[in-house]
Structure 1
């Protein structure tokens, strides 16, 4: 039997949809890809409708420690739902978490697209010259920038960009 999955993370929604779209029974309002995804909308990443998710009776809820709020995840667990929470700070961790979500959580075989993605990153040549400095705004009201220990920061470094705030004490100052 195929599991019924609710995704609270747009990027993970895309990964599941690319691999086995029929598994997704619920996704956030921010899950816009693929555009034709046929799944119930269950609110936002920061304000999911716990009652609506519970009513869908999913076998698994996919979440992320950074994207989703701990009280919402606790409420889903208290409702008896299995919640798989990912943590992604580096490219290697992203690949490992995708494997965990897709193969362990969803019970799928490892998808070929994941092997192709890993191979593409492994084949990427070292960037030429000195890293280019950058400040990366990620939010406004209040303004926030990319800081230390983030997935985006890891990707930028691999592409030859030096995040000016990479050594900041906060992840998103």
Structure 2
């Protein structure tokens, strides 16, 4: 691996992807939320959060590549980086995958940039095998709401990567939104009929770490008696990149679990 490559990643799931390429030592800076693999924190400098990274620290690290994302990082951050970097020595790699097919293309792009094409080829083959399994099995669709935050209650709308991945396993998002970045994760209101008509209520482990007591709180707040309430793995369902393969495997398990609940 080229030791002259110096990477600063402001996207936790893509930090993980670069490490899965075998390039952990090339990551010189990452965010406070880049928690996988855990050992990375010993070798890379933490440069702040995804929304408020320290631009001066990033510049100090003299990166050859800076990895950003249109949803994780604000337009202001990307603008400041564009203004500050030396474009002759630093490449900004922007990303915004909306579904599994976007992820495949994104990972292939990363593989080409970092000369990891063989790793990507093997990974892509496994991803496509999982996708073919979903396509070969027809099943009824289950309506759902996916919770990402509490106080206020916030959910992932149908235009999000999370929703698109769940749709592969036969889940249909009850919350329809516009493409606008500010509307993709709406706050629940008492007037939303979807709140009381969904079959599944999925509570993510991140960014808010939902517990059983929070689910009970929600059920009581909206006086819900029907539906199935599940805690789900937020990293597997929302982290795109190399983790998307684990997401597909996890979706297979979630689909089986959901079918059993429906059949009860």
SS of equivalent residue, structure 2 residue 94: strand
Residues 1:60 and 2:62 are matched in the alignment: no
Alpha-carbon deviation of 1:128?
4.5
Partner of 1:150: 160
Contact 2:69–2:95 at 8 Å: present in 1 too?
yes
Partner of 2:185: 172
Note the aligned Cα RMSD (angstroms). 1.8
TM-score by length of 1: 0.90
Candidates 112, 115, 118, aligned match of 2:124: 115
Partner of 1:12: 14
- Return the alpha-carbon distance in structure 2 between the equivalents of residues 88 and 67 of structure 1: 11
Alpha-carbon deviation of 1:27?
0.6
- Return the alpha-carbon distance in structure 1 between the equivalents of residues 99 and 74 of structure 2: 21
TM-score by length of 2: 0.60
May I ask how many residue pairs the two structures share in their alignment?
171
Contact 2:98–2:159 at 8 Å: present in 1 too?
yes
Residues 1:34 and 2:29 are matched in the alignment: no
Deviations 1:61-115 (A, max 9, x none): 00110000111111111111431110110110011112222322x3433414522
Unmatched segments (≥5 aa) in structure 2:
187-264
Partner of 2:49: 44
Partner of 1:93: 102
Residues 1:71 and 2:76 are matched in the alignment: yes
- Return the alpha-carbon distance in structure 2 between the equivalents of residues 53 and 59 of structure 1: 11
- Return the alpha-carbon distance in structure 2 between the equivalents of residues 122 and 161 of structure 1: 15
SS of equivalent residue, structure 1 residue 125: helix
Partner of 2:218: none
The structure with the larger Rg is 2
Unmatched segments (≥5 aa) in structure 1:
none
